[in-house]
């Protein structure tokens, strides 16, 4: 069993958020961050068998911002 799984979370160009797992084929999206967390938990439950499911889910929020010099 893996101890944790990491998701890279970014703001979507269309609004809302997207989350992609590192090292696994798991992707989900949602309109709000709160909804995204629920979707990530559900996606992990669907992807892994109970005995293989990670104990922790880490969400790494990446925010890109362009600032004029």
The per-residue DSSP string of 16-57 comes to SEEEEESSS--EEEESSHHHHHHHHHHHHHHHS-GGG--SEE
Residue 1 has pLDDT above 80, yes or no: no
56 falls within a domain: yes
Instruction: Give the residue, 1 or 4, on which the prediction is more confident.
Output: 4
Q: Is 69 inside a domain boundary?
A: no
Tokens describing residue 64: 């890109």
| Number of domains into which the chain is organized | 1
The residue range of the domain holding 31 is 4-62
pLDDT, tens only, 12-63: 989 999 999 999 999 999 999 999 999 999 999 999 999 999 999 999 999 8
Report yes or no on whether pTM surpasses 0.75: yes
Looking at residue 66, its pLDDT comes to: 86
């Amino acid at each position: 069993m893996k101890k944790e799984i990491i998701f890279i979370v970014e703001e979507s160009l269309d609004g809302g958020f997207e989350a992609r797992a590192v090292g696994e084929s798991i992707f989900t999206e949602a309109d709000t961050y709160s909804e995204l967390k629920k979707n990530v938990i559900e996606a992990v439950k669907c992807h892994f068998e109970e005995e293989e499911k990670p104990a922790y889910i880490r969400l790494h929020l990446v925010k890109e911002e362009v600032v004029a010099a």
